[in-house]
Amino acid sequence: MTKPSTAALRRIRERLATEVRSLRGANAEAVIARLNPIINGWAAYYRIGVSKRAFSALDHYLWKLVYKWARLSHPNKSKRWVIARYFGEFNKFRRDRWIFGDRYSGFYLRRFAWTTIVRHRMVPGTASRDDPDLADFWAKRRRRTKPPLDTATLRLLKTQNGRCPLCGDFLLHAGDEPQSPHEWERWLKTTRVAVRKHAISADRGHGAPDKPATLVHASCRRRHLTAGDKSPALLAAHDP
């Protein structure tokens, strides 16, 4: 099994340190917004392999970086004050009072170790995505592969067989996964923009009960609304 190389770990540490230094003078929400995509992208790329120990080490390293950032942001405040201001059980699903967060917005810094480790499934050397006879093979493989998204979104993807109800195409990229931490970082950002969770009503005008939440392409939603398509009617959206 593979694991993050020494060089890869050095690069991510240097990047995290550089980003945190550049954020001196910013608020906690800005720190979280800058770092979370980096954490998500790097962890998504290295989740296939023996990375648990590396993830834990990076979490410890990042904690020291943000703690130092907090102390430098309030040089006249005590350690107790800084900890009470920026650390706590921000993630209600985890019993950890040392999570870095913003008490005004409720946003918090993710951990590398929160990304679930998965094992890579080998592909036969002769299996081509362009072979029409293997369409079923690739479809089954795609359904078994869980992208690093939140649980609610993954549940909806499974319910919809990964397809947009408005156009019928796959909601996520049907080809190869991103091939680097930076590609994963961009892919996850793009996915959050491209896919939105909507409540879809079959017939709002006649008081029909609303159907469960459904995932659609943001581009499909815009196209349907622009065309004045009200069946089904798309209600207000929010990020997954």
6 vs 67: CA distance, rounded Å: 24
**How many domains would you assign to the chain?**
2
84 and 145 housed in the same domain: no
Q: Which domain holds residue 222?
A: 132-234
pLDDT category of residue 12 using cuts at 50, 70 and 90: very high
Among 114, 143, 173, residue at a domain's last position: 114
* Residue at 124 is within a domain: no
- At 102 the pLDDT is 95
Give pLDDT tens digits for 77-86: 999 999 999 9
Q: List, for residues 167-190, the tens digit of each pLDDT value.
A: 887 776 645 566 677 777 776 766
> Of 56, 84, 114, which closes a domain?
114
Q: What is the pLDDT of residue 8?
A: 92
The neighbour count for residue 150, using CB atoms within 10 Å, is 10
In a domain, 182, yes or no: yes
**Does 41 reside within a domain?**
yes
- pLDDT score at 139: 56
pLDDT at residue 214, as a whole number: 78
Q: Which residues, in sequence order, are CB contacts of 24 under 8 Å at separation 6+?
A: 69, 72, 73
- Give the residue, 20 or 164, on which the prediction is more confident: 20
Domain boundary among 86, 114, 142: 114
Task: Give yes or no for residue 11 having a pLDDT over 60.
Answer: yes
Residue 125 lies in a domain: no
Per 3-state DSSP, what percentage of the chain is helix, strand, and coil (rounded to 5)? 50, 10, 40
- Residue 10 and residue 100 in one domain: yes
Q: Is the pLDDT of residue 231 over 50?
A: no
Strands 87-88 and 99-100: antiparallel
153 shares a domain with 229: yes
Does any domain span residue 192?
Answer: yes
Calculate mean pLDDT across residues 198-202: 51
In-domain check, residue 190: yes
Instruction: Say if 127 falls within a structural domain.
Output: no
Clarify whether residues 33 and 86 are in a common domain.
yes
pLDDT tens, 124-165?
A: 555 555 555 555 655 555 555 566 666 677 777 777 877 888
